[in-house]
Amino acid sequence: MNKMDKISFYAALFGAKIINKGLHLMKSAGTSLPGVAAMKISKNFLSFLSKYCKNDIITITGTNGKTTTAGLLAHILKSADKSVLHNEKGANMLSGIASALAVDYKPFSRFDYAVLESDEAYLTKLYDYLKADYLLVTNLFRDQLDRYGELDTTAKKIQNAVNKNPDLKVFINADDPMLSELGANNRRIFFGFDDITYKTSQKESLAPAEAVACKCKSELSYEKRYYAHVGRYFCEKCGRKRPEPDYKGYAVIYDDYSEIYVKFIRENLEHELAFKTRLVGLYNAYNTLAAISTALELGISQQSIQKGLDTYKSVFGRAERLTIDGKNVLVQLIKNPTGASEVLRTVNHETCSKLLIIINDNYADGRDVSWLWDTDFELLNDSRGNIVVSGIRAYDMAVRLKYAGFDESRIEVKKDIKEAINYSLKSVEQGGQLLIMPTYTALLDMQKILK
């Protein structure tokens, strides 16, 4: 690092910190603006992540769960008394990652780990600036087709990023056949579930598996299918099958928590460790298994991992629990068919007093809302109360509920998000629960309303 680069970096750093302070004073939610400014002042600003990280840089990408998985892993590392740089607010494009560095980095210091969530399409650009040690990929599902295209397009974008770093160690969800070819020339570490037991009020999804063909063009078969195309798969024609996980999970899923057992081999000895997470649902069991597996690979103890799981607080909107005016509120972000269907499977109709669904179609949400028709809204037919729909595409959501078989006399449209939230809260009795399912920009609107 030459003297001018260092001067440029610190000028960008202090400038970004001043901007961030100003945003806080104005109570603005512009999480990426400090990063935008820093990268304007110092074009190689992000490359300094590698220079100031003592141990490993862990990057995390995938369609669903990357924000929660990254948050869990970062918190587990902090619970083990490690200093961690993490873009915890979920801003996962280059400017958001630069903001995390600008805001959280203490001048003239070094940190132990960096845990960086990255948008799939921006991962290649991120690797232009830094050499990551690990890449964790959660899953691949159809998501914002107007921006990303089909699944194989997204997979190729991630592979292009991996190709830039032959030393990269790739953590892969073994249960997702879309990821089985990823990083074939790199060291690969697999995690996945051997079995899952439900002790909940949840329903099994009625939705068919997303069509994922084998390399030989044959349809894949499943010993066990957990959801969508994720499960213990195999091809009857060519013999391809799900890789054996290095970290084998077994989950017992309850309404309010999950127990996760992890088997792995260390120094030729098999270990089995038990963990508990308060995050709900199968999709969060996968997020938790991914974070636990990575932490174990980094040498973090069982005690520190469990401490991290016990004290982790959800990122806003990702299975976050709030109390507003004595009412329990659960906020669950939805953005694509698979993720939304899995959230719907966690709805406990005995405890959920009211449901509010907020659908926007701004650029960050994806303009194409046809995904609503691929989501398993039929799971709501046993709901005992009315459902409120809101947002820019409130009427599209109302029509989808009608065709799912939901009684249209129980569908209430309140396009204004603030009005919908206030109305829904008033409809919930003391001690009852309101479940809010917003798309991404609707979630941002909610943050401003609930401040």
Residue-wise DSSP of 151-197: HHHHHHHHHHHHHT-TT-EEEEETT-GGGTTTTTTSEEEEEEEEEEE
Q: Report yes or no: 140 and 155 within 8 Å, Cβ to Cβ.
A: yes
Active site residues: 368
d(C-alpha 7, C-alpha 176), whole Å: 45
d(C-alpha 227, C-alpha 204), whole Å: 9
pLDDT mean by block of 10 residues, the chain; 451 residues = 80 90 73 87 90 95 94 97 89 88 87 94 93 96 57 88 96 95 96 93 56 82 91 92 97 94 95 96 95 98 98 85 87 90 81 90 88 91 88 97 93 96 91 90 88 66
pLDDT for residue 252: 96
d(C-alpha 153, C-alpha 174), whole Å: 20
Cα-Cα-Cα-Cα torsion 48, 50, 53, 55, nearest 10 degrees, comes to 180
Predicted model pTM: 0.89
**Which pair of tokens denotes residue 322?**
């709030």
pLDDT for residue 29: 59
Contact residues for 398 (Cβ-Cβ < 8 A; gap 6+): 389, 408, 411, 413
Contact residues for 23 (Cβ-Cβ < 8 A; gap 6+): 30, 33, 34
**Which pair of tokens denotes residue 102?**
């600008």
pLDDT for residue 146: 44
Give the β-pairing of 327-332 and 318-324: antiparallel
pLDDT for residue 216: 87
Contact residues for 242 (Cβ-Cβ < 8 A; gap 6+): 174, 175, 177, 180, 192, 231, 232, 233, 234
d(C-alpha 321, C-alpha 329), whole Å: 6
pLDDT for residue 209: 55
Q: Report yes or no: 126 and 46 within 8 Å, Cβ to Cβ.
A: yes
Contact residues for 148 (Cβ-Cβ < 8 A; gap 6+): 120, 121, 154
pLDDT for residue 147: 45
